[in-house]
Amino acid sequence: MNELQEKIGIQNPDWLMSTREKLGLIGLLHCLKPKKVLELGYHRGGATKWFSQFSEQVITVDVNEFVADAPNLFHNVEA
Domain boundaries, the chain: 2-78
Domain range 2-78, CATH class? alpha beta
Q: Are 5 and 22 in contact (CB under 8 A)?
A: yes
Q: Are 47 and 25 in contact (CB under 8 A)?
A: yes
> Collapsing DSSP states into helix, strand and coil, what is residue 6?
helix
> What pLDDT band is residue 2 in, cutting at 50, 70 and 90?
confident
Is residue 13 predicted with pLDDT exceeding 90? no
pLDDT digits (tens, 9 = 90+) for 28-76: 999 999 999 999 999 999 999 999 999 999 999 999 999 999 999 999 9
- Which pTM does this prediction carry? 0.89
**Residue 11: C-alpha distances to residues 1, 29, 46, 57 (Å):** 9, 18, 9, 24
Tell me, what's the pLDDT at 33? Answer: 96
Is residue 1 predicted with pLDDT exceeding 90? no
Q: Are 76 and 52 in contact (CB under 8 A)?
A: yes
